[in-house]
């Protein structure tokens, strides 16, 4: 059941063993790479796997459980608020982020428990509802925010260097593992280690300024608002 993540030049793969003996394998890629596809999706997927020797070795005796390979775009989103007049938005109803760390079910269940407490407050202590809603809104943003910091930087060379570094200065890797395990709410002791992880990330980024600048430009280009660009093109054509 251990999940593996494999990096390759144009993104990363997930490798998730499932309870029925099959394994879910997929690739998260930059848009520029997907736009190079000039063959059927299945063949393109096989070519993409070939770019990652570690994954090739693990899949050398594997076969597809069916003949279909699927592709979709980025469907991450976030709502402006999680509460309103007689309603709550829990889990993916409120926000969805790239599930690199398989955090979605955990965030949904945690929000459900806190949401039940908020409903109880609304019914039994309506005078306390306003501050309770404020705390609930902050809680709903906390988990996605903490996970997103790492998700949006995982393809950065600096993060890769830090993940592959054999040492564990200031216990930063223990802090990261605790984050991935869901220890992000209430009185957790991991924030000092995670803060140091972020400090080291920014420090290393500054000391490799050219690489950081190139990575930032590439990320900015790859994540640009295609809807806005399409609208701008329509205006210009008109």
pLDDT in tens, the chain (238 residues): 688 888 888 888 999 999 998 999 999 888 888 889 999 999 999 999 999 999 999 999 999 988 888 888 877 888 999 999 889 999 999 998 876 667 888 889 999 999 999 999 999 999 999 999 999 999 999 988 888 888 778 777 788 788 888 888 888 988 888 887 888 887 788 889 989 999 999 999 899 888 888 877 877 776 666 555 555 444 444 4
147 φψ region: left (φ > 0), alpha (ψ -120 to 50), beta (else):
alpha
Pairing of strands 11-17, 77-78: unpaired
pTM equals 0.73
């Amino acid at each position: 059941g251990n999940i593996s993540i494999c990096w390759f030049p144009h993104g990363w793969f997930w490798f998730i063993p499932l309870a029925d003996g099959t394994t879910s394998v997929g690739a998260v890629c930059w848009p520029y790479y997907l736009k190079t596809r000039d063959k059927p999706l299945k063949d393109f997927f096989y070519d993409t796997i070939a770019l990652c020797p570690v994954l090739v070795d693990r899949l050398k005796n594997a076969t597809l459980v069916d003949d279909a390979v699927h592709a979709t775009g980025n469907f991450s989103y976030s709502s402006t608020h999680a509460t309103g007049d007689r309603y709550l938005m829990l889990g993916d109803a409120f926000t969805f982020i790239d599930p690199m760390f398989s955090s979605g079910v955990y965030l949904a269940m945690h929000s459900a428990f806190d949401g039940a407490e908020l409903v109880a407050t609304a019914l039994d202590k309506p005078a306390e509802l306003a501050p309770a809603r404020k705390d609930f809104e902050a809680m709903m943003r906390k988990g996605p925010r903490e996970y997103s910091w790492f998700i949006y930087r995982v393809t950065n060379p600096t993060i890769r260097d830090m993940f592959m570094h054999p040492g564990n200065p200031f216990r930063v890797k223990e802090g990261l593992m605790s984050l991935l395990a869901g220890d992000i709410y209430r009185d957790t002791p991991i924030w000092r280690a995670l803060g140091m992880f972020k400090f080291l990330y920014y420090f290393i980024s500054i000391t490799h300024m050219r690489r950081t600048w190139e990575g930032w430009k590439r990320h900015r280009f790859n994540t640009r608002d295609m809807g806005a660009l399409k609208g701008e093109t329509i205006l210009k054509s008109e």
